[in-house]
Amino acid sequence: MKLFLLAFLVIMPSFAMANLDPAVQGKQAENFVRQLGEEAIAILENTKDDPVARRSQFKRILNDSFDMDTIARFSMGRYWAIATDAEKKTYKKLFRTMIIDVYSNRFAEYNNQGFEVVGNKPAGRKDFVVNSLIKGSGQPIKVDWRIRKGKVIDVIVEGVSMSVTQRSEFASVIQRGGGEVASLIDHLQK
């Protein structure tokens, strides 16, 4: 029993250190994105003729694999601080619906391209960016996935961050609406 306890005390810190090792964390992030890509491709192939089923499956993937609250908050930018609790709640619900619609429609354009994870790099203290390529008949499309705590917080296509683009668009809507968060909510309800 003492030998078992001693072995446990010697081995466990090395497991804990492996979890802190950036190389290990980067590989975990790569595996997560690879599995996410394979799941998305399977959904596309299995729901070719059923857009309702495709939307439902993408909703599940987005809710399970994307940190929708972090993305929503980032996308609202500085206006998050002035939004009321009721506005935040309504906005997050509308944001989720919009993201599901956007990604379902974008992925509907997928047509037997290949998906390959090609590397990763640390991004700050908590995040990793996983690099991937979507290969079709033309030039491969570079898609990077920003991962934090096992969830996607941004997708960067050919160097353009979806979250930053969304943030800019939302800020423009709010500014045109006199700086009122309600104007963004109205925009998302259309």
Which pLDDT value is given to residue 6?
39
Please state, in angstroms and as integers, the Cα–Cα distance from residue 83 to each residue in 4, 67, 77, 91, following that order: 56, 20, 11, 9
Structurally, the chain folds into a number of domains equal to 1
Using DSSP bridges, classify how beta strands 114-123 and 151-157 pair: parallel, antiparallel or unpaired: unpaired
| Long-range Cβ pairs for the range 67-71 (8 Å, 24+) | 67/148, 67/149, 67/151, 67/152, 67/153, 68/92, 68/95, 68/96, 68/99, 70/148, 70/151, 70/153, 71/95, 71/99, 71/153, 71/154, 71/163
Which pLDDT value is given to residue 67?
96
pTM (2 d.p.): 0.84
Query: Helices (H), strands (E): how many in the chain?
Result: 7, 5
Which pLDDT value is given to residue 16?
43
Which pLDDT value is given to residue 45?
83
Q: Give 10-residue mean pLDDT values along the chain (190 residues).
A: 42 45 93 94 85 89 94 97 97 94 75 87 95 89 95 95 96 97 96
> Range of 35's domain?
2-189
Which pLDDT value is given to residue 105?
77
Our CA angle for 186, 189, 190, nearest 5°, is 95
Q: How many CB atoms lie within 10 A of CB 93?
A: 13
Asked if 59 and 107 count as a contact pair (C-beta separation under 8 A), the reply is no
Q: Residue 184 is which amino acid? A: L
CATH of the domain at 165: 3.10.450.710
Which pLDDT value is given to residue 163?
94
Report DSSP state, residue 140.
P
